């Protein structure tokens, strides 16, 4: 097993999920730049362009763009959301997806997680645990 | 979270099904947002018609709306429609000539139109502005300090930064009906101060400079509140452009232009008397890189032009009419505005000028919102960072790509007349 890192944060949506992480180092954008039916971003030049997020812990710094960001919560769904900071865009997205979600961490987890690491999101007890690949 | 006794009674269902569902929605949203109470709204609201909720879980059937409307229910504050009355984001005016199947068919339009929903909403007080730019047609705006619930990303900074109202991007039927919203974000004075100071090498003065700067500031600031220094004083069009672009490159609900926006008589005031966390110089090379990122094409052949993101105001419509008068577009050319302004522009003779020039005058939507452009078009020119950046997301596959040309309004008009792109960053 790899190194484990535990970080406390604020639960937005309760529940517990553990899955492989898919990390976006830059903000994600919804509306026409996400395809909810296919479950990937269609934003040109984006590091996650056409990489499916279904069943993954989707890790990103913040949402950007229009209220259509909720597309990430309205079709194929990630197992959980982990993000540095949020606003109404990510709030409405979580309310659509109804999967475990956490933000406002004591340490920003985004630079610490790499795609492929396993992440336990325990939104019931308010922490995530990263197992490095 | 704290709820008043009346709010608790509503949540318990004592006031009926719809108030209970609306209260459940606001309480759930407060939980996700980390809001500890609701705020009483005293400004204005808007929501995405024809839907009753952004979150499907809180949608309710038309029978319930019929019941409350028959009982005399009314929105708690002045409430506007920020989308058209049809499913599928279809055009309000001019659809017959749009050339965009099936949206140009009468049967399609009739089926998409949610007539009964609209009649019930109107009985409850909804003002049918049917536009992302509700503020251009509202005739009634929030005054500084009023709490609002707006829900169009391009318009929310107009509420916060330009008008001094207070809103997150959370306008909904629930907020408009109950006159309440979760108390967080832009409702709280402390969160409205700038934390980032943005300076620019060139003095930002033209429409495209404001548009490109908006995208760059959005990318740089993400969710933070910036103060922009050493810019020109933005016009209404330039505020529209900056707001829209900043909420595409990032998610900017609030910003300050010291000496122009109402909560920033000075930079010190914009910063709330504190030191900024960051000071950023956006130089010319940065603006050029941003402009180039918004352009996405190989050749120079333009097959369609679309203007009106966000929806055009009358002054811009007049400018476009003068530029097009007596000329002829070689390619399909959409000119998009707010439905009420459409009729004013028609009376002013602009519609005839546009049509004589081979353009199509439309209202109430845009290529991004309607989800595409006419079949066979593979090269689109636009003058809005938002439209440029989103539209290619609808064409992600290698066998169906879209060339996107982004430039000034003049570059786009020139492209329509010539069928070729001559725009560049200047």
The whole-angstrom distance between A12's CA and the closest CA on chain B is 4
* Domain interval for residue B247: 193-292
- Any residues with CB less than 8 A from the CB of B192 and at least 6 apart, and which? B160, B166, B186, B225, B254, B263
Q: Which of B251, B293, B392 sits opposite A63 (nearest CB)?
A: B251
Judge whether B89 is closer than 8 Å to chain A, CB to CB: no
Judge whether B160 is closer than 8 Å to chain A, CB to CB: no
Judge whether B315 is closer than 8 Å to chain A, CB to CB: no
* Residue where a domain stops, chosen among B166, B186, B206: B186
Are B210 and B233 part of one and the same domain? yes
- Whether the per-residue pLDDT at A112 is higher than 80: the answer is yes
Per-residue pLDDT of chain B (426 residues), as tens digits, is: 999 999 999 999 999 999 999 999 999 999 999 999 999 999 999 999 998 888 999 999 999 999 999 999 999 999 999 999 998 899 999 999 999 999 999 999 999 999 999 999 999 999 999 999 999 999 999 999 999 999 999 999 999 999 999 999 999 999 999 999 999 999 999 999 999 999 999 999 999 999 999 999 999 999 999 999 999 999 999 999 999 999 999 999 999 999 999 999 999 999 999 999 999 999 999 999 999 999 999 999 999 999 999 999 999 999 999 999 999 999 999 999 999 999 999 999 999 999 999 999 999 999 999 999 999 999 999 999 999 999 999 999 999 999 999 999 999 999 999 999 999 999
Q: For residue B128, report the phi and psi dihedrals to the nearest 5 degrees.
A: -90, 70
* Domain interval for residue A83: 4-131
On chain A, the residues whose CB falls within 8 A of the CB of B152 are 66-67
Here the contacts of B5-13 (C-beta below 8 Å, separation 24 or greater) are B7/B38, B7/B180, B10/B178
Interface confidence (ipTM) of the complex: 0.97
Q: Which of A10, A62, A67 sits opposite B34 (nearest CB)?
A: A10
3-state secondary structure of B62: helix
Is the distance from CB of B51 to CB of B85 less than 8 angstroms?
no
Q: Which of A42, A89, A96 sits opposite B56 (nearest CB)?
A: A96
Is there a contact between B251 and A64 if contact means CB atoms under 8 Å apart? Answer: yes
CA distances from B425 to B204, B213, B245, B285, B396 (A): 14, 13, 17, 10, 26
Is the distance from CB of B184 to CB of B263 less than 8 angstroms?
no
Is there a contact between A27 and B222 if contact means CB atoms under 8 Å apart? Answer: yes
Query: Is B394 contained in some domain?
Result: yes
Q: What CATH number is given to the structural domain containing B73?
A: 3.30.499
Query: Is B101 contained in some domain?
Result: yes
What pLDDT was estimated at residue A100? 98
Q: What CATH number is given to the structural domain containing A8?
A: 3.50.30.10
* Residue where a domain stops, chosen among B267, B292, B317: B292
The DSSP code sequence of B247-291 is HHHS--S--B-TTTSTT-SSHHHHTTTSPPSEEEEE-HHHHHHHH
Are B350 and B375 part of one and the same domain? yes
Is the distance from CB of B214 to CB of B246 less than 8 angstroms?
yes
Q: Which of A13, A43, A85 sits opposite B32 (nearest CB)?
A: A13
Q: For residue A77, report the phi and psi dihedrals to the nearest 5 degrees.
A: -115, 145
Are B167 and B182 part of one and the same domain? yes
Strands B180-182 and B38-40: antiparallel
In terms of CA atoms, which chain B residue is nearest residue A29? Answer: B248
pLDDT band at A1 (very low <50, low <70, confident <90, very high): low
Query: Is B425 contained in some domain?
Result: no
Q: Which of B223, B247, B393 sits opposite A85 (nearest CB)?
A: B223
Domain count, chain A: 1
On chain A, the residues whose CB falls within 8 A of the CB of B250 are 27, 64
Are B165 and B153 part of one and the same domain? yes
Is there a contact between A87 and B185 if contact means CB atoms under 8 Å apart? Answer: yes
- The fraction of chain A above a pLDDT of 70, given in percent, is 99
Is there a contact between B248 and A66 if contact means CB atoms under 8 Å apart? Answer: yes
- Other C-beta atoms closer than 10 Å to the C-beta of B401 total 16
Q: Which of A44, A62, A64 sits opposite B392 (nearest CB)?
A: A44
Nearest to A62 by CA among A39, A38, A81: A81
Mutate to test the interface with A, among B251, B366, B368, B371 (most CBs of A within 10 A): B251
What pLDDT was estimated at residue B198? 98
Is the distance from CB of B47 to CB of B75 less than 8 angstroms?
no
On chain B, the residues whose CB falls within 8 A of the CB of A101 are 32
The DSSP code sequence of B301-318 is B--EEEEEEEEEPHHHHH
In terms of CA atoms, which chain A residue is nearest residue B56? Answer: A96
Is there a contact between A31 and B368 if contact means CB atoms under 8 Å apart? Answer: yes
Are B288 and B302 part of one and the same domain? no
Domain count, chain B: 3
The whole-angstrom separation of Cα B249 and Cα B239 is 15
Query: Is B424 contained in some domain?
Result: no
């Amino acid at each position: 097993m790899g190194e484990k890192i535990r970080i406390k944060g604020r639960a937005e949506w309760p529940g517990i999920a553990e899955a492989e992480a898919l990390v976006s180092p830059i903000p994600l954008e919804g509306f026409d730049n996400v395809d909810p039916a296919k479950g990937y971003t269609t934003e040109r030049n984006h590091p996650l362009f056409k990489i499916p997020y279904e069943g993954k812990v989707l890790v990103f710094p913040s949402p950007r763009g229009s209220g259509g960001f909720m597309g990430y919560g309205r079709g194929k769904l990630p197992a959980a959301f982990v993000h540095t900071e949020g606003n109404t865009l990510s709030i409405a997205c979580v309310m659509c997806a109804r999967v475990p979600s956490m933000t406002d961490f004591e340490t920003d987890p985004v630079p610490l997680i790499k795609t492929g690491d396993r992440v336990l999101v325990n939104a019931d007890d308010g922490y995530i645990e990263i197992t490095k690949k | 979270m704290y709820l008043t006794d009346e709010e608790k009674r509503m949540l318990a269902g004592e006031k009926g099904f719809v108030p209970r569902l609306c209260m459940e929605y606001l309480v759930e949203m407060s939980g996700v947002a980390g809001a500890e109470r609701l705020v009483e709204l005293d400004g204005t609201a808007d929501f995405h018609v024809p839907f009753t909720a952004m979150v499907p879980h809180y949608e309710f059937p038309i029978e319930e709306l019929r019941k409350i409307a028959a009982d005399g229910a009314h929105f708690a504050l002045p409430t506007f429609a920020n989308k058209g009355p049809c499913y599928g984001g279809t055009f309000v005016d001019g659809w017959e000539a749009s050339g965009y199947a099936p949206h140009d068919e009468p049967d399609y339009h009739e089926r998409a139109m949610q007539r009964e929903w609209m009649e019930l909403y109107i009985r409850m007080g909804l003002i049918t502005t049917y536009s992302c730019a509700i503020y251009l047609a509202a005739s009634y705006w929030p005054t500084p300090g009023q709490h609002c619930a707006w829900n169009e990303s391009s318009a929310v900074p107009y509420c916060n930064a330009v008008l001094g109202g207070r809103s997150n991007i959370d306008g909904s039927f629930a907020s408009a009906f109950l006159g309440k919203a979760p108390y967080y974000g832009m409702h709280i004075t402390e969160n409205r101060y700038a934390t980032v100071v943005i300076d620019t090498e060139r003095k930002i003065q033209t429409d495209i400079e404001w548009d490109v700067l908006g995208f760059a500031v959005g990318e740089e600031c993400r969710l933070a509140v910036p103060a922009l220094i050493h810019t020109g004083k933005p016009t209404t069009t330039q505020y529209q452009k900056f707001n829209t672009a900043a909420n595409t490159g990032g998610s900017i609900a609030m910003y300050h232009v010291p000496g122009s926006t109402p909560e920033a008589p000075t930079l010190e005031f914009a910063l709330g008397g504190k030191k900024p966390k960051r000071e950023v110089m956006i130089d010319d090379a940065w603006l050029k890189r941003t402009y180039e990122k918004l352009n996405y094409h190989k050749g120079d052949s333009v097959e369609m032009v679309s203007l009106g993101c966000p929806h055009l105001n009358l002054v811009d419509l007049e400018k476009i009419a003068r530029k097009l008068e007596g000329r002829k577009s070689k390619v399909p050319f959409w000119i998009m505005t707010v439905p009420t302004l459409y009729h004013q522009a028609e009376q002013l003779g602009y519609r005839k000028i546009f049509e004589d020039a081979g353009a199509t005058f439309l209202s109430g939507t845009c290529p991004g919102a309607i989800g595409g452009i006419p079949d066979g078009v593979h090269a689109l020119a636009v003058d809005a960072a938002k439209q440029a950046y989103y539209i290619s997301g609808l064409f992600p596959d290698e066998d169906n790509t879209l060339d996107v040309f982004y430039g000034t309004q003049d570059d786009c008009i020139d492209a329509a007349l010539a069928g070729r792109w001559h725009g560049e960053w200047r």
